[in-house]
Amino acid sequence: MSLTWWCSWSTLKEYQTGQESLDHGHTLVAKTELNTLAVKFGKRATTMLVEFVNCRPEEAAFVRFKNKWERVGPQKWAGDHKDFLWSESLVRAIWEGRKKGIEGFQVMLGLGIQTEDTYADENDLVPASPIAVDWDLGRLVLVPRKLEDVIWLTLLQQSRRLGICADKDNGCPTPYFVKYRPQQEFCSDACALPRQREFKRRWWAEHGREWQQSRQHKRGTIDAGPWHTKETGS
């Protein structure tokens, strides 16, 4: 039940001040003043999140995703293909801004974190929370039980970097991506290329002749070299 494969542990205080964490083996673990833990998932988890949200609906695609990422660590995908598509649709809804204002609550539901008492009969399964209590050390510990927990936790971490490719409606195969720059519109250079070409075409149509004339004038002046003289009144 380790997060070694996915993330490093650190305190919220250390994120804010840049202080070093306490090194305990392969993970970085320390307590905050509030006895809580902040978890930072790494690039591998981010890659899995992006592959998850862009996964095609065919069951074969689900199986490939499941087989690939279950080999990384001890967490498994708990549900079937139908459960996968349901979770993916929720993540996409958040990604696209269709859960505005309730993103945090949706992540809590996805993780099985209860905000109030819940009652369920034998047909209503309430998932256990991935938060465990470490009584001896007096702290709460986050213990992902399955791949879906890692999906939700990484989605939360990347919440301000979620992007939808501007080429989505033109057939982009992976329209959901994590932005490297705040103003990034495209998931890749390949998707950005048509926009760049169109921009160049319009610029050339509007300014090309003027630019050519300017270049020709400059070249003519330079090529004249020492033979170029200004006209005088004589």
Do 128 and 55 lie in a common domain?
yes
Quote the CA–CA distance of 152 and 142 in Å, as a whole number: 13
Q: 108 and 178: one domain?
A: yes
Residues 182 and 195 in one domain: no
- Residues 150 and 204 placed together within one structural domain of the fold: no
pLDDT higher than threshold 90 for residue 105: no
Q: Are residues 59 and 121 both part of a single domain?
A: yes
Q: Do 45 and 7 touch, CB atoms closer than 8 A?
A: yes
Structural domains counted in the chain: 2
**Helix axes 43-53 and 147-157, enclosed angle (nearest 10):** 100
Residue for token digits 């929720």? 90
Q: Would residue 230 count as lying in a domain?
A: no
Q: CA 64, CA 159: separation in Å to the nearest integer?
A: 26
User: Across residues 103-112, what is the average pLDDT?
Assistant: 83
13: domain CATH number is: 1.10.3300
One domain, residues 89 and 154:
yes
Asked whether residue 1 is assigned to any structural domain, the reply reads: no
> pLDDT of 54-86, one tens digit each?
999 999 999 999 999 999 888 899 999 999 999
Residue 42 domain-assigned? yes
Report the C-alpha gap between 92 and 72 in whole angstroms.
24
Instruction: Report whether pLDDT(208) > 70.
Output: no
Model confidence at 17, in pLDDT bands (50, 70, 90)? very low
> Does residue 131 form part of some domain?
yes
**Residue 86 and residue 127 share a domain:** yes
Q: Give the Cα separation of 208 and 215 in Å (integer).
A: 10
Residue 120 pLDDT class (50, 70, 90 cuts): low
| pLDDT(168) > 80 | yes
**Quick check: 218 pLDDT over 60?**
yes
Is there a domain that residue 234 lies in? no
Q: How confident is the model at residue 113 (pLDDT cuts 50, 70, 90)?
A: confident
Percent of the chain with pLDDT over 90: 32
Q: How confident is the model at residue 210 (pLDDT cuts 50, 70, 90)?
A: confident
Contact 38, 66 (CB under 8 A): no
Q: Are residues 141 and 196 in the same domain?
A: no
The model carries a pTM of 0.63
Counting every residue written for the chain, the total comes to 234
Whether 16 maps to a domain, the answer reads yes
Parent domain of 133: 7-187
